[in-house]
Amino acid sequence: TKKPRIVILGAGYAGILTARRLQKLLRHDEAEIVLVNKHSYHYLTTWLHKAAAGTVEDERITIAIKDVIDSRRIRFIKDTVTEVETTTQRVMLCHGEPLAYDYLVLALGFERADFGIPGIKEHALAICSMNSARQIRLTVEARFAEFAKQKGRDGQEKLTFVVGGAGFTGIEFAAELAERIPALCRQHGIDRQRVQVINVEGAPALLGGFAPALAEYAKASLENMGVQFRLSTRIQSVDRDGVTLLTEAGEERITPATVIWTGGVQGNRVVCNEDFAAVRGRIAAEKDLRAPGHDNVFVLGDCSAVIDKRTGRPFPPTAQLAILQSAVCAENLATLVRGGSDLKEFVPFIKGAVASLGSHDAVGEVFGIELRGRLAMMMKAIIDIRYMAMLGNLRLLLGKGKLAAYVAP
Ligand code: FAD
């Protein structure tokens, strides 16, 4: 009989770990495994803010997919998924022929959500992928160069970067950008006082979900690095010149300004077809991580919504959740391939979260314990190293200096 084909879409946290687990769980003759991803590399999304600010080199957070999967067991296809057709069990690709599947794993990650705010899509940058992070770094560098040429040496005008959103990504990126600025100022002969980073947040506090004391700590740490906060302030629109804010006192313009939007994410639009009833690109996963009404389709990571029984709301999409899901998904797939039907229930055990505040500070909550400064930084390093170990091939990673980047950023 023909081997069933498992097709995994996306080689982010969820996809690559599902692939790696399946290559261990299933024998060669039990299933054909195919992994599809836009690029030939896997990247550490949780480090994209550093690539965007230019505080780490791109190579440090990308890993060739062929180095972390066994290519005798898994066929890798570098292509972009355009559509999933469940009626014919096929995946449409940008370049290649349609790809048939017996089992499908949707792990295509996230994209920016702009909540219908005019101009965000056209005029704001966003941290969504390696390429978008690179675009931010290049834009920041270009703005410094232009500013130095035009008005950097005299006048009062400021070089302004507005970071929209004070969630995890917004705070981590603002800190990283603030850390990069002194070097850029030196390079271009610009006075540091002429450059400003303004973080705009609709809520009255930053890092929603964190304990207030930790949010205050983070705020003080970033202010110390020169970041200004505009809390209880909404971005009303973004245009070519800058941004219009809505504050309690009314409208306010900040121009010229470069806007980096981190205010929201949604699941990948590919899953937004009527087959899956996705809400903002996220499919409400069943307990066994399958898409409702689709016995052979699993949904993981930022494309999935998993309800937290304690709050009745979906868990925030995180790499941590994606990693945990991949283990259950791989086991359930192995059960199905072997003709079983007793699937495991996904019960997430969320350990906490740690946000970096540049390379010298961090803040977090792990197992209910509040961490600040060095302890939080150590915890962040442990999380990162643990993930690198999950990807296997520590020797290769060490050789490339990737692991070293965690220990001594
Ligand atoms: P991703 O990791 O985004 O992977 C999706 C993959 O699919 C990518 O390889 C992409 O190239 C590929 N892809 C996308 N579209 C297509 C297509 N059409 N065709 C083919 N391939 C495609 N979470 C934490 O737990 N801890 C943190 O500290 C943390 N920090 C973060 C910091 C930043 C700056 C950001 C942006 C996020 C952070 N997160 C963190 C969230 C975390 O990164 C995401 O939840 C996680 O990446 C989701 O994993 P995923 O596998 O669903 O998707």
Pocket of ligand 1 (CB under 6 A): 10-15, 36-39, 45-46, 48-49, 80-81, 107-110, 127, 129, 168-169, 172, 268, 270, 301-302, 317-320, 322, 353
CB-side neighbour CA atoms (13 Å) of 213:
5
Q: Two tokens at 136? A: 């931010």
Report which ligand 1 atom has the smallest distance to the Cα of 110: 3
**pLDDT reported for residue 278:** 87
Site to probe by mutation for ligand 1, drawn from 68, 318, 329, 380 as the one with most ligand atoms within 8 Å of Cβ, is 318
DSSP 63-118: EEGGGTS-TTTEEEEE--EEEEETTTTEEEESSS--EE-SEEEE---EEE--TT-T
What is the SS3 string spanning 135-173?
A: HHHHHHHHHHHHHHHHCCCCCCCCEEEEEECCCHHHHHH
Q: What is the pLDDT of residue 402?
A: 54
DSSP symbols for 301-313: GGGEE-B-TTTSS
Atom of ligand 1 nearest to the CA of 300: 52
Query: Tokens 């643990």 sit at which residue?
Result: 386
Using a pLDDT cut of 70, give the percent of the chain over it. Answer: 95
For the chain, give percent helix, strand, coil, nearest 5. 35, 25, 40
What's 194's DSSP letter? G
C-alpha closest to that of 364 among 189, 205, 218 = 218
Cross-strand bridge partners of residue 243:
238, 254
Model confidence at 311, in pLDDT bands (50, 70, 90)?
confident
Band of the pLDDT at 400, cuts 50, 70, 90? low
User: Which residue do the tokens 């940058």 mark?
Assistant: 125
**Is a pLDDT exceeding 80 seen at residue 5?**
yes
Its pTM stands at 0.95
- 398 band by pLDDT with thresholds 50, 70 and 90: low
User: Per residue in 35-75, pLDDT tens?
Assistant: 999 999 999 999 999 999 999 999 888 999 999 999 999 99
The 10s digit of each residue's pLDDT in 313-371 is 899 999 999 999 999 999 999 999 999 999 999 999 999 999 999 999 999 999 999 99
Task: Report the atom number in ligand 1 closest to the C-alpha of 52.
Answer: 34
- Whether the per-residue pLDDT at 257 is higher than 70: the answer is yes
Kindly report, residue by residue over 294-310, the tens digit of the pLDDT.
999 999 999 999 998 88
Write the residue with the smallest CA distance to atom 10 of ligand 1.
Answer: 10
User: Could you tell me the distance, in angstroms and rounded to a whole number, from the CA of residue 164 to the centre of ligand 1?
Assistant: 19
Question: Is the confidence at residue 117, as pLDDT, over 60?
Answer: yes
Q: Which helix (H) or strand (E) holds 195?
A: strand 195-200
Distance 110 CA to ligand 1 centre (A): 6
- Catalytic hit among 172, 179, 201, 365: 172
For 326, the 3-state DSSP assignment is: helix
Which atom of ligand 1 is nearest to 93's Cα?
19
Specify the residue with its C-alpha closest to ligand 1, atom 35: 46
CA of 12 relative to ligand 1 center, distance in Å? 6
Minimum CA distance residue for ligand 1 atom 45: 318
pLDDT for residue 409: 42
How many angstroms separate the CA atoms of 302 and 82, rounded?
Answer: 17
Q: Kindly give the distance from the C-alpha atom of residue 147 to the centroid of ligand 1, in angstroms, as a whole number.
A: 33
Distances (CA, A) of 306 to 152, 288, 290: 49, 11, 11
- The H helix count followed by the E strand count for the chain is 10, 25
Q: Has 172 been annotated as catalytic? A: yes
Q: Which amino acid is at 26?
A: L
- The pLDDT of residue 408 is 46
Here the tokens at position 363 are: 């803040």
The closest residue, in CA terms, to atom 38 on ligand 1 is 46
Statement: residue 406 has pLDDT above 60: no
CA 183, CA 329: separation in Å to the nearest integer?
A: 45
Residue with tokens 């197992």: 367
Could you tell me how far CA 185 lies from the centroid of its own chain?
29
285: tokens are 């996963």
Compute, in angstroms, the gap from residue 284 CA to the centroid of ligand 1.
Answer: 18
Report the C-alpha gap between 329 and 350 in whole angstroms.
17
Question: 7, 46, 137, 406: which to mutate for ligand 1, most atoms within 8 A of CB?
Answer: 46
Integer Rg of the chain from CA: 22
| ipTM of the modeled complex | 0.98
Residue of 47, 108, 111, 132 to test ligand 1 pocket, by largest number of atoms within 8 Å of CB: 108
